[in-house]
Amino acid sequence: MQNSKFQKRLFGTNGVRGVVGKDLTPDLVLTIGEALGTMRKGCIAVGRDTRTSGETLAKAVKSGLLSTGCNVVDCGILPTPALQYLVKEQFDGGAMITASHNPPEYNGVKIIDADGTEMGDEETLRLEQLIFDLSFSPLPWEHVGYEISAPDLVRKYVHAIVHHFPDKVGSGMTVVVDPGSGPSCLTTPQILTQMGCRVLTLNGIMDGTFPGRLPEPSPDGLRTLADLVVSSGAAFGVAHDGDADRSVFIDEKGRFVEENQEFALIARHLCHQKKGALVTPVSTSRMVEMVVKDEGCTVHYTPVGSIYVARTMRSLIGEGKEVVFGGEGNGGLIFPDHQFCRDGGMTAAMMVLILCLHKQQLSALIATLPQRTMIKDKISTPHGAKVLEDIMKRYRKEILDLTDGVKIIRENSWALVRASGTEPIIRIIIDAECGDYGREFHDELIGHISAITSE
Ligand code: MG
């Protein structure tokens, strides 16, 4: 697959993002709407997360779409995967106003294709060209589109997930849900309740100022959730990011479940049911590959970014291959039987099923996974390309994977060195067996990179 993401000027791996009123203005979003309406015809679904700027920006994108002849269905506030599901089922495309896990002052636009996946690189480059050239003009009065408001459509998404599982499979289980004041206030508590769980919510009232915690579900921000899980005797706690395409978990003892462990646990369950490929970026812990291979399945690696995972899953299926599961080691998991995008609500529901089937506590299941350590670091340097070239030369006698940056693969560990596409930094990830391997590999790499950047 061609990885052309670095050529994009406006859209990053997950759409356009920026601080509202500074980088991201209603004018820019209007232009995005006009460009999208010029490229796409038919009925476009528009949704937003709970950010305070969401209404203004949704109106701007709708105005652009309507003026260029598209019809618009405004789905109101809903998770990104809910909008993606609705687009896949019944619309010609979508535009989601969200900044996902970014702080409250940010917002963004994510463009959804008719099949429910995020717009691919080639189409995004075309869209950017239209935006930069301003090569569109509003249509006369008799050709502008019309708008319908449909805030209840989100229920179809809830229904689809609930009906993916055995009836009332979660009966007797208590779960604490922390939607972080985001759009999953409308979905995850309802999904789990309809699956039979007793659901307690925290930060369960939609609020774009995010008074309880920031939209990134970090271990620090989830301490109150952890306390509530323990005090309520819940089986687990689940928290979403600001647009609920990711889920992270707290075990029954109040401990944060590292996202690669979450991925490995669900991967092991799904690969036990069905044989085929799991698709994930090169940055995912080897823990996932180990459990997948133990179950007789294979791993297909992609560049970093959920869109590459989703599109690779689709293309493998198009070649007639079985694809069991996909996702990233950040709690963003893709269930191909449901849809080809990360889905936080589906992930929470799957965890209910796994705990019911295994009749074990979450901490006990996590303890059965391979133990790995992961170290993440970054170095500021304007010479990213030179660093990558030097690292590639220095380690040329070892096993290298050049899918995205340079990944050096050893028996007990691997290291991934990537240059950021948007900032002058080098990102380093090391994944290793427990012990000193990870720290030693990290120190070795930092030594080389410091020497290169100080030349
Ligand atoms: Mg997100």
Name 120's Cβ contacts closer than 8 Å, sequence gap at least 6. Answer: 113, 307, 311
Distance 241 CA to ligand 1 centre (A): 6
**CA of residue 30 to ligand 1 center, whole Å:** 23
Give 320 Cα–ligand 1 centroid separation in angstroms: 30
pLDDT tens by residue, 98-122 = 999 999 999 999 999 999 999 988 9
Q: Look up residue 165 and give its two tokens.
A: 């599982």
> How far is it, in rounded angstroms, from Cα 148 to Cα 293?
48
What's the CA-to-centroid distance between 25 and ligand 1, angstroms? 21
Q: What pLDDT does 453 receive?
A: 83
Q: Are 288 and 329 in contact (CB under 8 A)?
A: yes
pLDDT of residue 11: 83
pLDDT at position 6 is: 46
Point out the least confidently predicted range of 4-13, 265-274, 275-284, 325-334.
4-13
Q: What is the pTM of this model?
A: 0.95
Cα 28 from Cα 129, distance rounded (Å)? 14
SS3 letters across the chain: CCCCHHHCCCCECCEEEEEECCCECHHHHHHHHHHHHHHCCCEEEEEECCCCCHHHHHHHHHHHHHHCCCEEEEEEECCHHHHHHHHHHHCCEEEEECCCCCCCCEEEEEEECCCCCECCHHHHHHHHHHHHHCCCCCCCHHHCCCEEECHHHHHHHHHHHHCCCCCCCCCCCEEEEECCCCHHHHCHHHHHHHCCCEEEECCCCCCCCCCCCCCCCCCHHHHHHHHHHHHHCCCEEEEECCCCCCEEEECCCCCEECHHHHHHHHHHHHHHHCCCEEEEECCCCHHHHHHHHHCCCEEEEECCCHHHHHHHHHHHHHCCCCEEEEECCCCCEECCCCCCCECHHHHHHHHHHHHHHHCCCHHHHHHCCCCEEEEEEEEECCCHHHHHHHHHHHCCCCEEECCCCEEEECCCEEEEEEECCCCCEEEEEEEEECCCHHHHHHHHHHHHHHHHHCC
pLDDT at res. 7: 61
**396 CA distance to ligand 1 centroid (A)?**
36
User: Which of 100, 184, 285, 413 does the annotation list as catalytic?
Assistant: 100
Mean pLDDT of 333-351: 98
Tokens at residue 425, please?
Answer: 């930094």
List the one residue out of 191, 394, 406 whose CA is nearest residue 282.
406
Rounded Cα gap, residues 437 and 428, in angstroms: 15
Q: What is the edge-to-edge ordering of all strands in the sheet holding 277-281?
A: 298-302, 277-281, 323-327, 333-334
The amino acid that residue 297 corresponds to is: C
Beta-bridge mates of residue 280: 301
Question: What's the gap in Å between 123 CA and the centre of ligand 1?
Answer: 21
- Of residues 256 and 384, the one with the higher pLDDT is 256
Could you tell me the distance, in angstroms and rounded to a whole number, from the CA of residue 43 to the centre of ligand 1?
A: 24
Query: What's the rounded Cα separation, in Å, for the pair 308 and 314?
Result: 10
**437 Cα to the center of ligand 1, angstroms:** 32
Length of the chain counted residue by residue: 455
- Mind listing the pLDDT tens digit for each residue in 169-194? 999 999 999 999 999 999 999 999 99
Mean pLDDT, the chain, rounded, equals: 95
244 Cα to the center of ligand 1, angstroms? 6
Q: Say whether pLDDT at 5 is over 60.
A: no
pLDDT classification of 394: cutoffs 50, 70, 90: very high
245 alpha carbon – ligand 1 mean position (Å): 5
CA of 395 to the centre of ligand 1 (A): 35
Report CA(122)–ligand 1 centroid distance (Å): 22
> Which tens digit of pLDDT belongs to each residue from 220-231?
999 999 999 999
Ligand 1 mean position to 81 CA, how many Å?
A: 9
Backbone angles phi, psi at 60, to 5 degrees: -65, -45
Q: How far apart are CA 97 and CA 111, in angstroms?
A: 9
Q: Could you confirm whether 306 is annotated as catalytic?
A: no
Residue ranges and CATH numbers for the domains of the chain are: 4-154 (3.40.120.10), 156-256 (3.40.120.10), 259-367 (3.40.120.10), 373-453 (3.30.310.50)
Percent of the chain having pLDDT more than 70? 98
In this prediction, residue 137 has a pLDDT band, given cuts at 50, 70 and 90, of confident
Ligand 1 centre distance from Cα of residue 401 (Å): 27
- AA identity, residue 285: S
